[in-house]
Structure 1
């Protein structure tokens, strides 16, 4: 079986959780005998592939063209949805003019304004996919992709339930493929004594692209009057330079706050081992690969209640509201005082591995190609 996994144009320049998910899924599928290529093109030749695996209906403009291309060439499509509605974030979590506009405009017009603003700054972004945000519309592109998907691969039952609710459909052609961790790296570093990150021992760590959706500014505001050591790890997203300036101002004024732009994934596991709490006060997470990785290395978790976090972590994590600074601080305090994380750690190492994710993915592939 030959599979083409397609992703967003800035897959390499702006790595995120989806980057890790795709690369690790490819690695494990190949161990199961599947030939896998990755493409960032909109309309590649698919004649040598049995199926196409698309990723993400939140950043829809590329996925829409990729879906049209797959269907025009008669290929079945598996879709990793990576979905949660963005309206609450746009209305409450955005900053400046975008927050104001979100109170009066629907998501289609918000996305039109966003792409127009980017296009005025950089004419190089215009192509068939970005023009479609203006002409077809954000929601209609999502609906097209959903209606033409042969099998859905949500990260959680809650994610699929939310997709059905938001789009008014009852799609049952899905297999839940959970987010996962690299068990080999966990076992490699779990019992190794290492001093590389010793200065960050017992710190609070937040890993993710620097952007309003990840809500790092609220985290720093919540913890700036505490004695916690706080580490932010992540590249600054396009269009969030001013947001980062506000973050940098707080970091520069606090000797216990640190910023690391990027770190190799295997070293991140070493850093998690020394930290005490991983916090993701995001406006949505499904559930966030870094939370799984951190918990596998023994960190306590403070996470947003929005998204699929409760399905993954149950009573073993502490939850916050992203728009409530006191709630964020309270969740961090509770997580910091939790001493035994073995229940969650063992659950992740048993159920949430890339090996298991690849098995579920291959099962989905077989269903839509009848290659049993």
Structure 2
């Protein structure tokens, strides 16, 4: 498995997805290593498993290396078109630029800025964004992938629509939860330190424009809801957080925790009534699965694959509509505990099931070879 350089230092959904899938694949007898290098020696490996079509500059170098060494490639796509978010969800000067520029130009400008600002960014991956181009690298990766591993059918459809191709060379690999940990946490008594958040609304995720927490605090401003934000402030998003903090400071029922250990986070979910993610896109958001497993009702963005995962067992909102966000939370809050959704998560959306589907993809790639 290969991923981005900051895979560990800036942990995200892809970090959890790959590491948890690795654990379960090893239980199925597969030997798995994770590498963050661009051009490692692959002579001891049968398959290269890449991830991410959005942060393409590193995946591009890794797939070039795999093809040079004649290794079959499977790709966890982790994809959703970003244009809507970049043009409508961003703020400040970046929003102005995005309204005028194509995605290639946007990524080229960002790359030039990184190149000038950060000495560590002056490398092949950044240079390729400037010289080769963002979408050309994406198309190269897609053209040279043997088997695709999207997290949903709709994600695969969006990928094909965006890049104008068609394929049957894919296996849907669901996002998941660690079912053993979740089941164990369900059986534990409530933590007294979280008693004050009984029946609260929780939103877990890095503080950044894509996660849309500013719209969330605006939507609930002046309401009687207890709101708990959990997540570190992303780099380059301090001004965005400062706007959010204005609402936290004036609402005594609004709280922000930069970090809570995952073991304790399960217990916090169990205390809360609603988990919300009004983000600009989610596929579908690991935190939503974890929260649903602990009994939370969901108020989530309609963008992404949320509908495919949750169907009628969640309440949906539009990220650019404050009334829509508030309405989804109202509906989720007044809804009875949704045992059907909880059972669905434990049955279908686990890392064990993800590993089984991933292994099927590996076998398909080996057969093509």
Same-fold call, TM cutoff 0.5: yes
Contact in 1 for aligned 2:222/2:251 (Cα 8 Å): no
What's the CA shift for 1:209? 1.2
Choose the corresponding residue for 2:313, options 306, 311, 316. 316
4+ aligned runs moved over 6 Å, structure 1: none
For residues 106 and 235 of structure 2, the distance between their equivalents in structure 1, rounded to whole angstroms, comes to 17
User: Do residues 281 (structure 1) and 265 (structure 2) align?
Assistant: no
What's the CA shift for 1:30? 0.5
Q: Please name the residue that 2:88 is paired with.
A: 92
User: How many residue pairs were aligned?
Assistant: 368
User: Do residues 46 (structure 1) and 31 (structure 2) align?
Assistant: no
What's the CA shift for 1:304? 0.6
Contact in 1 for aligned 2:190/2:271 (Cα 8 Å): no
Give TM-score, length-normalised by structure 1.
0.97
User: Do residues 259 (structure 1) and 259 (structure 2) align?
Assistant: no
For residues 199 and 73 of structure 1, the distance between their equivalents in structure 2, rounded to whole angstroms, comes to 57
Contact in 2 for aligned 1:14/1:237 (Cα 8 Å): no
Contact in 2 for aligned 1:203/1:228 (Cα 8 Å): yes
> Counterparts in 2 of 1:179-198, with a 5 A limit?
179-195=175-191, 196-198=193-195
Q: Please name the residue that 2:152 is paired with.
A: 156
Contact in 2 for aligned 1:30/1:36 (Cα 8 Å): yes
Q: Please name the residue that 2:269 is paired with.
A: 272
Structure 1 portions without partners, runs of 5+: none
Output the aligned Cα RMSD: 1.3
For residues 260 and 169 of structure 2, the distance between their equivalents in structure 1, rounded to whole angstroms, comes to 38
Q: Deviations over 1:318-340 (max 9, x none)?
A: 11010111111111111111112
Choose the corresponding residue for 1:300, options 292, 297, 300. 297
Q: Please name the residue that 1:81 is paired with.
A: 77
Q: Please name the residue that 1:69 is paired with.
A: 65
> Counterparts in 2 of 1:128-147, with a 5 A limit?
128-147=124-143
What's the CA shift for 1:248? 2.0
Contact in 1 for aligned 2:276/2:299 (Cα 8 Å): yes
What's the CA shift for 1:102? 1.3
User: Do residues 127 (structure 1) and 123 (structure 2) align?
Assistant: yes
What's the CA shift for 1:370? 3.4
What's the CA shift for 1:292? 0.6
User: Do residues 226 (structure 1) and 226 (structure 2) align?
Assistant: no
User: Do residues 178 (structure 1) and 174 (structure 2) align?
Assistant: yes
Choose the corresponding residue for 1:290, options 278, 287, 292. 287
Q: Please name the residue that 1:55 is paired with.
A: 51
For residues 232 and 33 of structure 2, the distance between their equivalents in structure 1, rounded to whole angstroms, comes to 26
For residues 195 and 4 of structure 2, the distance between their equivalents in structure 1, rounded to whole angstroms, comes to 36
What's the CA shift for 1:362? 0.6
For residues 70 and 165 of structure 1, the distance between their equivalents in structure 2, rounded to whole angstroms, comes to 26
For residues 180 and 335 of structure 1, the distance between their equivalents in structure 2, rounded to whole angstroms, comes to 22
Q: Deviations over 1:205-236 (max 9, x none)?
A: 11111110110111011111111111111122
Q: Please name the residue that 1:113 is paired with.
A: 109
Q: Please name the residue that 1:345 is paired with.
A: 342
> Counterparts in 2 of 1:11-30, with a 5 A limit?
11-30=7-26
Choose the corresponding residue for 1:169, options 157, 165, 169. 165
Choose the corresponding residue for 1:33, options 19, 29, 32. 29
Give TM-score, length-normalised by structure 2.
0.97
User: Do residues 359 (structure 1) and 356 (structure 2) align?
Assistant: yes
User: Do residues 369 (structure 1) and 366 (structure 2) align?
Assistant: yes
Contact in 2 for aligned 1:14/1:235 (Cα 8 Å): no
Q: Please name the residue that 1:239 is paired with.
A: 236
For residues 294 and 218 of structure 2, the distance between their equivalents in structure 1, rounded to whole angstroms, comes to 27
What's the CA shift for 1:123? 2.4
